[in-house]
Amino acid sequence: MTDKKTVLLPNKFRDPYTFEDVINLADTIVRDADCLDLSRISFIEPYSMLSFLLLGKMYLLKRGIKLKLIRIPLAIHQYLSRMDFFKTEIFETADSLNEKMMLKRSSVSKTIIEIVEIPNKERESVKVITGVIELFRKRASFILKHWFSDNLVDYFVTVISELCQNIFEHSLESGYLSMQTYSLNNEKIFRLVISDSGIGIVKSFELNKEIQFDSPAKLIEMALTTPISSKREYGYGLCQVNSIIERLNGMIYIRSDNASLSTLYNKTRSGSYIFYKNSLSPFSGTQISISLTA
């Protein structure tokens, strides 16, 4: 911290793993901070962006005021504005971005889907999800151009539908979706992120005494690989998503409360890697990142 009430954020918005260093500061930020200094941030990807948004939402709910962002680098300010980050009205900014400095919305920028709030009520949520899917179909040839195939769009329509449905079925809180294809270290990355600050996976299964698990991370794996559900007799949502991403040789990262699971398919000769983490810094809700690389 640079002083008692300003937190200088580390440059750790590059992927879900490095963003853990920001989550480690969450309690301090919510309890003590008046503003956040973003001057060190050089890059932000969708998972970090939505998780940061959730952090601001937690601050707003607990403190009753908006957390102020200061010293935002121009490129970061442009990106966040382009992704409709500030339209959520979660944060306050010290400086507004001149309209002439805004990134233009053109065919060149159709490799994204801007931040969309997914309501926690079924009727409203279904309407929003339908709109997201329609927009995705229009932009899919741009977003997925490095991976494009006949079945790919339908696969991701299923993924979007299933993961967004989990928000109103399980989280008891609204959530957010965002999507982007970008370049990093000579690699093309597609990332779909769906996050909420609800009750989390473990709490959603509390009333189901038939489900036994060794750790929160193991429960996340069970939800991903076996047909269990906290609401329905048979839960195929996450299983179906997992099957699709395995078929596409992609990656799934799920973080819920204080545990995470990362599954990388066909990254080695053995076929896949699975990483478990427990006893992480608590962070409300469930955050899911789906990635393809080329």
Q: Give per-residue pLDDT as tens, 62-100.
A: 999 999 999 999 999 999 999 999 999 999 998 777 777
In a domain, 59, yes or no: yes
CATH value at residue 264: 3.30.565.10
Q: CA-CA-CA-CA torsion for 46, 48, 53, 55, nearest 10 degrees? A: 160
Specify the pLDDT at position 105: 64
Per-residue pLDDT tens over the stretch 108-160: 568 999 999 999 888 999 999 999 999 999 999 999 999 988 899 999 999 99
In terms of domains, do 159 and 259 share one?
Answer: yes
Q: Mapping DSSP to helix (H, G, I), strand (E, B) and coil, where does residue 193 land?
A: strand
Longest Cα separation, the chain: 58
The answer to whether 196 and 176 are in contact (CB under 8 A) is: yes
Q: How far apart are CA 111 and CA 146, in angstroms?
A: 11
Specify the pLDDT at position 238: 87
Helix boundaries (H) for 92-144: 122-143
Per-residue pLDDT tens over the stretch 199-208: 999 988 887 7
In a domain, 103, yes or no: no
CATH value at residue 17: 3.30.750.24
In terms of domains, do 135 and 190 share one?
Answer: yes
- What is the token pair recorded at 82? 């382009």
In the predicted structure, residue 254 carries a pLDDT above the cut 90: yes
In the predicted structure, residue 1 carries a pLDDT above the cut 70: no
The answer to whether 158 and 238 are in contact (CB under 8 A) is: no
Domain boundary among 61, 76, 96: 96
Give the other-Cβ count within 10 Å of 169's Cβ. 18
Closest to 217 in 3D by CA, of 225, 207, 209 = 225
In terms of domains, do 62 and 201 share one?
Answer: no
pTM over the 0.85 mark: yes
Q: How far apart are CA 265 and CA 88, in angstroms?
A: 34
Helix boundaries (H) for 144-236: 152-166, 200-204, 216-225
In the predicted structure, residue 234 carries a pLDDT above the cut 50: no
In terms of domains, do 159 and 89 share one?
Answer: no
In terms of domains, do 139 and 54 share one?
Answer: no
Instruction: Give the model's confidence band at 209: pLDDT under 50 very low, under 70 low, under 90 confident, else very high.
Output: confident
Instruction: Give the model's confidence band at 266: pLDDT under 50 very low, under 70 low, under 90 confident, else very high.
Output: low
- What is the token pair recorded at 112? 């994204």
Instruction: Give the model's confidence band at 292: pLDDT under 50 very low, under 70 low, under 90 confident, else very high.
Output: very high
Query: Which DSSP letter does residue 248 get?
Result: T
Q: Which residue has the higher pLDDT, 239 or 54?
A: 54
Give the other-Cβ count within 10 Å of 242's Cβ. 20
In a domain, 220, yes or no: yes
- Expressed as residue numbers, the domain containing 57 is 6-96
| Tally of domains within the chain | 2
In the predicted structure, residue 232 carries a pLDDT above the cut 50: no
First-to-last C-alpha distance (Å) of the chain: 38
* Phi, psi torsion values for 233, nearest 5 degrees: -60, -40
